[in-house]
Structure 1
């Protein structure tokens, strides 16, 4: 009975206050649906790689790997702005400011509509240049171009899903995004099996399946949100940009958008560097590691998001001490997951890689990169939780500066230097990510001790 009651508490949708009660219990209840949604989203992305890997060759995997890196860069901008909106909603909800909530939602949705229309209209004209700039191997060029083109045309579905998820999470509801990403995941897998497996459409089929699945999820999210009490009626007349709300949305969300997108760009530089070093096999190895990494980072990413939402409400309610305790609890829990993940990937990498490809050479290459990269599983537990804390406090400019520095002053140069050493292998290149995370942790701890995160 107690277990059933606990599960009902975890998976209850709707707005909830996170400013009172047990921090470990509330944070876990908020983080578990968050983790479930992130797991399904990672599975959603990995499904393309897995299914394409079973029905095509290394060139097809390379096309999806490179194309998805670019689409993730755009998605990073959306996630950054959406997270900014979620933090603003959390601050207003924690402080009981109903009008601010409605104006924030209307402003965010209006901004996203304009951005998605602009991207859909203009970005397809630059697809060739983008694919070339990414250092795409010639064998994968055509498929990578098609993958990016189809995702770009359907980009509005990605904007819609992220906006609705941000609204739900701002109200302390992490269950609804889980439900709707589950719908998208199932639809995407079915679409991949039909378009990639049955019809042989390759990378382009995977892209089309993604767009259709996102569209279905976004539609159902809107239907649900209109019926539930999220302080917004979702009428066209309410889609207005309020100057003050837009200014704050950009001030809070834009640093995260810049941070996420530039971090994504740094990984594209890494992909291009590795492609020149080892060709299509090396780029496919990095792509597979990226998808595996999407699963291994689930606990720290989920607790980062949960910490951000919980801290935002507590900062809005004037409870900074409770906000700081939330950081410590979240970091401790995610570290336990990170240590276990490191052990599994360092000692048994091949067992995971075989899920993505049966190619023996590709499995060996990926295992080399994954072993050194796996050290990051421990370090990112601190990186993400500290980022979530500072973001929840509204100090997104610091997290942007710290993570951009980490990406371009450490990760990218380290990759270039390590790949250029005589006799370098994917194993040596994999150490670039842990080095970047270590620098980020040091800067974050110094900022935490300074107490500047308490200032409004």
Structure 2
């Protein structure tokens, strides 16, 4: 059967080349998203110092915790939009879009209120250093105000991707990133008539960038009369119907749980890091910037493997599914291994960008990277195998493995070894968690029974979203954990 226009047939042809071509757009999008956060971290580190960088490290992880589960619902809406678009049912596309927008409007409003109110208590629970606390609170509260336009903008770009348009989201994602990066020094330093706002200026820049890119995107949608828009009577779709709300929640819940496990683990680890002082917290934030890029190939390859495996499972080509998995493992080892080597060789030169002339913090960050950076090769093995498993509808097994690796293993070891190793116990817990996850995932892949009968229909688009559910819900990289 000839594939639909714009859709790639993943059940035939050379596996390695197809896998790479499928993964590259996802990788490019991830790099663009993360560059925004990295450049802003450079501005903060260079202009305001390690205390400010430590403050944003704490604040960003809290922000991700509050939005993680929410964006499982956004991914579910993307899947439903894609399926309805495949049936050429435009009215159904707009019904899903309206329901998702209505849901997100309520959730974003609640998030701002809860986040503003709970931020001081959360920062204290994380043992945020006293000299960092006021900076983190000031930054975090402005960031919460910036979140609603960011929520809606990301949802609209996800919806555009669901109808097959990957170029428009990239353009407006780039616009928001450029605005954010350009405005950061203006508001931090107070260039021209703008007052110097310090760390709050970075958050104000994000607020303006989120709002500006959202308004530009909405204007474009209506100027071009694209499918992803509401007019006239269609505005009533903003009130979610029970059936659509149920579909979004049921599909989004497993993906939201994955993201929630990752962000909760990151929050727990942040609490341990903070107990070792401001320099260690800033160093950890800088090392996380490096790790954000190291983990990208594994996530992109995992998304591609999952989408390819889903189509081949649907076609009954199980021998090809195994070959896709092996190709994904080889690609991960090559790409992630090369990145780990490069970052290890150049780490001090790159870390200087975030930490400025703080030799103590740079030494700590280099040690963090030396001990923990290589573990992302193991992380990639787990990502690829779990991606294949998800392609047959098995999401509970990978979720349980992720939770065990993150909490009893990683967090447990970091706590247990702290009296003996000090801060090094935290850094060694990363390879320990990745190794445990890899062993459990290999065992589940070989003996878990996930190949037996699919319980629910799974599409390539759904698998790709599930594989990216540990990814980037707010146009910024998720914390590494």
Query: So what's the TM-score if we normalise by structure 1?
Result: 0.86
Residues 406 and 440, structure 1, Cα contact 8 Å, conserved in 2? yes
Q: Are 1:46 and 2:38 an aligned pair? A: yes
- How many residues end up aligned between the 2 structures? 439
Distance of 1:327 and 1:169 partners within structure 2? 25
Deviations 1:343-397 (A, max 9, x none): 1233442122112122111100111111111122211222333444445554444
Distance of 2:436 and 2:118 partners within structure 1? 35
Query: So what's the TM-score if we normalise by structure 2?
Result: 0.82
The CA deviation at 1:111 is 1.5
Distance of 1:324 and 1:175 partners within structure 2? 32
Closer, same or farther: CA 438–167 of 1 in aligned 2, 3 Å: farther
User: Any stretches of 5+ residues in structure 1 without a counterpart?
Assistant: 1-13
The equivalent of 2:112 in structure 1 is 120
Q: Are 1:149 and 2:141 an aligned pair? A: yes
Which of the numbers 12, 18, 26 marks the counterpart of 1:34? 26
Structure 2 counterpart SS, 1:244 = helix
Deviations 1:411-455 (A, max 9, x none): 21122123231x4343x4312122222222333334434214733
Distance of 2:224 and 2:392 partners within structure 1? 27
Which has a greater percent of helix?
Answer: 1
The equivalent of 1:454 in structure 2 is 454
The equivalent of 2:475 in structure 1 is none
Closer, same or farther: CA 50–295 of 1 in aligned 2, 3 Å: same
Q: Are 1:82 and 2:81 an aligned pair? A: no
Aligned-residue CA RMSD (Å)? 3.0
Q: Are 1:18 and 2:8 an aligned pair? A: yes
The equivalent of 1:205 in structure 2 is 201
Closer, same or farther: CA 253–388 of 1 in aligned 2, 3 Å: farther
The equivalent of 1:251 in structure 2 is 250
With 267-276 and 199-208 compared, the bigger mean Cα shift is at 199-208
Residues 192 and 205, structure 1, Cα contact 8 Å, conserved in 2? yes
Residues 30 and 173, structure 1, Cα contact 8 Å, conserved in 2? no
Closer, same or farther: CA 152–161 of 1 in aligned 2, 3 Å: same
Which of the numbers 219, 225, 234 marks the counterpart of 2:230? 234
The CA deviation at 1:309 is 5.1
Distance of 1:80 and 1:263 partners within structure 2? 13
Residues 52 and 61, structure 1, Cα contact 8 Å, conserved in 2? yes
The equivalent of 1:292 in structure 2 is 290
Structure 2 counterpart SS, 1:354 = helix
With 82-91 and 244-253 compared, the bigger mean Cα shift is at 82-91
Distance of 2:39 and 2:345 partners within structure 1? 24
Closer, same or farther: CA 305–203 of 1 in aligned 2, 3 Å: farther
Deviations 1:139-173 (A, max 9, x none): 01111011111111221122113312322333454
Closer, same or farther: CA 213–315 of 1 in aligned 2, 3 Å: farther
The equivalent of 1:268 in structure 2 is 267
